[in-house]
Amino acid sequence: MAKKAAPAKGKAKAAKAGGGGVNKVAVLMVLAALVPFSLPTVALLFFTMLPTMGAWASERGPHKYAWLCVGGLNFSGVIPFLFSLWFGVHTLDESFSMLSEAGVLLWAYGMSAIGWLVYTVMPPVVASWISFTTDRRVAALKAAQKKLVEEWGDEVTKKGA
Amino acid sequence: MSETAEQADSGKPAVPSAPGVLRDRYTVRSNQPLPEFATPNAEAFVAEDKRDPNRNLFALICRPDLQPRVNIMRALKGATTMGFVPLVDWGTMLWPPLGRQCMTVIYERPVGKKLMANLRADFKRIDEYEINRRVIEPMVAAIKELTARGITHRAIRPTNMWYMDEGGERISLGDCVTTPPAFDQPVAFESVESGMANPVARGSGTFSDDLYSLGVTVVFLLMGRNPVAHLDEDQLLKQKIQQGSYNTLVGDERLPLPLIELLRGLLCDDPDQRWDIESLDLWLSGRRLSPLQSRLERRAARGFPFNGREYGNCRELAQAMAKNWELAIPPVLEGKLELWLRRAVEDAERAQVIAEQVRMALNSGNDKRAGIDLMLCKVLIILDPTAPIRYKGFNAMPDGFGSALAAVMAQKGDSRLMAEIILRGVPSLWFEARKSYLPDNSLMEGNFRELKGYLTQTGMGFGLERCLYEMNDSLPCQSPLLGEEYVVELKEMLPALNAAAGKRSDAKTWPVDRHVAAFMGARARSDIDRNLVQLTDPEPSKALMAMLNLFAVFQYRLGPESLPTLAAWVGGLVGPVVGAFHSREKRKELEKEIPKIIRRGSIVELYNLLDNEEAHSKDKHEFAWAQAQYHAADEEVKRIQTESEDRGTEAVRIGQQTAAVLGILIALITTTFVVIAKVW
pLDDT of residue B119: 85
Reported as a pLDDT band with limits 50, 70 and 90, residue A12 is very low
Report the pLDDT averaged over residues B351-359.
92
Question: Is residue B237 a part of any domain in this protein?
Answer: yes
- Residue B191 near residue B241, CB atoms below 8 Å: no
Element (H or E) spanning B325, and its range?
A: helix B325-333
Task: Provide the residue ranges of all domains of chain A, joining segments of one domain with +.
Answer: 1-37, 39-157
Residues forming beta bridges with residue B105, ordered by sequence position: B60, B90
Query: Between residues B413 and B33, which one has the greater pLDDT?
Result: B33
For residue B288, count other CB atoms closer than 10 A to its CB.
11
pLDDT of residue B290: 66
* Packing angle of the helix pair A102-152, A50-58 (nearest 10 deg): 50
Question: Is residue B433 a part of any domain in this protein?
Answer: no
Q: Which of B251, B284, B317 is the last residue of a domain?
A: B284
CB contact under 8 Å between B666 and A80, yes or no, is: no
What is the rounded average pLDDT for all residues in chain A?
82
Is the pLDDT at B254 greater than 90? The verdict is: no
Query: Residue B67 carries which DSSP code?
Result: -
Write the burial class of residue B421 (CB in 10 Å: 0-12 exposed, 13-18 middle, 19+ buried): buried
Write the burial class of residue A136 (CB in 10 Å: 0-12 exposed, 13-18 middle, 19+ buried): exposed
pLDDT of residue B78: 82
Is the pLDDT at B680 greater than 70? The verdict is: yes
ipTM: 0.79
Is the pLDDT at B515 greater than 90? The verdict is: yes
**Angstrom distance (rounded) from CA B108 to CA B170:** 15
Same domain, B273 and B192: yes
Query: Between residues B124 and B156, which one has the greater pLDDT?
Result: B156
In the sheet that B100-108 helps form, which strands lie side by side, from edge to edge? B20-22, B26-33, B42-49, B57-62, B100-108, B87-95
Question: Is residue B392 a part of any domain in this protein?
Answer: no
- Residue B656 near residue A122, CB atoms below 8 Å: yes
CB contact under 8 Å between B626 and A148, yes or no, is: yes
Same domain, B154 and B265: yes
Query: Residue A155 carries which DSSP code?
Result: G
Report the Cα A88 to chain-centroid distance in Å.
Answer: 31
pLDDT of residue B436: 81
Query: Between residues B277 and B79, which one has the greater pLDDT?
Result: B277
B:643-662 residues touching chain A, CB 8 A cutoff: 647-648, 650-662
Which chain B positions have a beta carbon within 8 Å of A131's beta carbon? 647, 651
The answer to whether residue A104 neighbours chain B at the CB level (below 8 Å) is: no
Question: Is residue B636 a part of any domain in this protein?
Answer: no
Question: Is residue B297 a part of any domain in this protein?
Answer: no
**Angstrom distance (rounded) from CA B553 to CA B559:** 9
Q: The CATH number of the domain where B73 resides is what?
A: 3.30.200.20
* Packing angle of the helix pair B584-600, B564-571 (nearest 10 deg): 160
pLDDT of residue B123: 82
Reported as a pLDDT band with limits 50, 70 and 90, residue A159 is confident
What is the rounded average pLDDT for all residues in chain B?
88
Nearest Cα to B144, choosing from B84, B91, B216? B84
pLDDT of residue B14: 43
Question: Is residue B454 a part of any domain in this protein?
Answer: no
Residue of chain A nearest B632, judged by CA positions: A141
Same domain, B163 and B237: yes
Same domain, B605 and B667: no
Is the pLDDT at A2 greater than 90? The verdict is: no
Same domain, B141 and B226: yes
Question: Is residue B375 a part of any domain in this protein?
Answer: yes
Same domain, B144 and B92: no
For residue B186, count other CB atoms closer than 10 A to its CB.
23
Q: Which of B611, B629, B657 is the last residue of a domain?
A: B611
> Which among B637, B666, B671 has CB closest to A73?
B666
- Residue B103 near residue B74, CB atoms below 8 Å: no
Is the pLDDT at A13 greater than 50? The verdict is: no
Reported as a pLDDT band with limits 50, 70 and 90, residue B575 is confident
Q: What is the Cα gyration radius of chain A?
A: 28
Same domain, B183 and B264: yes
Same domain, B82 and B189: no
CA distances from B117 to B35, B296, B489, B507 (A): 11, 34, 37, 53
DSSP-based three-state secondary structure for B92? strand
B443-480: b (≥16 Cβ within 10 Å) or e: ebbebbeebbebbeeebbbbbbbbbbbbbbebbbbbbe
CA distances from B657 to A63, A124, B660 (A): 9, 13, 5
Is the pLDDT at B71 greater than 80? The verdict is: yes
> Which among A80, A123, A148 has CB closest to B630?
A148
Q: Which of A14-28, B406-420, B494-508 has the lowest mean pLDDT?
A: A14-28
> Which among A127, A142, A161 has CB closest to B627?
A161
Question: Is residue B316 a part of any domain in this protein?
Answer: yes
Q: Which of B364, B387, B410 is the last residue of a domain?
A: B387
**Angstrom distance (rounded) from CA B606 to CA B603:** 5
Q: How far apart are the first and last CA of chain A?
A: 54
What is the span of the domain harbouring residue B255?
A: 131-284
Q: Please give the backbone phi and psi of residue B453, each rounded to the nearest 5 degrees, phi first.
A: -60, -45
Reported as a single tens digit per residue, the pLDDT across A84-125 is: 888 888 888 889 998 998 899 999 999 999 999 999 999 999
Residues forming beta bridges with residue B60, ordered by sequence position: B44, B105
Is the bond preceding residue B560 a cis peptide, omega within 30 degrees?
yes
Same domain, B265 and B377: no
Residues forming beta bridges with residue B108, ordered by sequence position: B57
Reported as a pLDDT band with limits 50, 70 and 90, residue A160 is low
Nearest Cα to B568, choosing from B467, B515, B498? B498
- Residue B250 near residue B109, CB atoms below 8 Å: no
Which chain B positions have a beta carbon within 8 Å of A123's beta carbon? 651-652, 654-656, 659
Query: Residue B39 carries which DSSP code?
Result: B
Report the Cα B514 to chain-centroid distance in Å.
Answer: 14
- Widest CA span in chain A: 86
Count how many domains chain B has. Answer: 5
The C-alpha of A45 sits at a distance from chain B's nearest C-alpha, in angstroms, of 14
Is the pLDDT at B261 greater than 60? The verdict is: yes
Instruction: Count contacts between A and B (CB, < 8 Å).
Output: 138
Same domain, B168 and B78: no
Which chain A positions have a beta carbon within 8 Å of B620's beta carbon? none
Q: Please give the backbone phi and psi of residue B537, each rounded to the nearest 5 degrees, phi first.
A: -60, 135
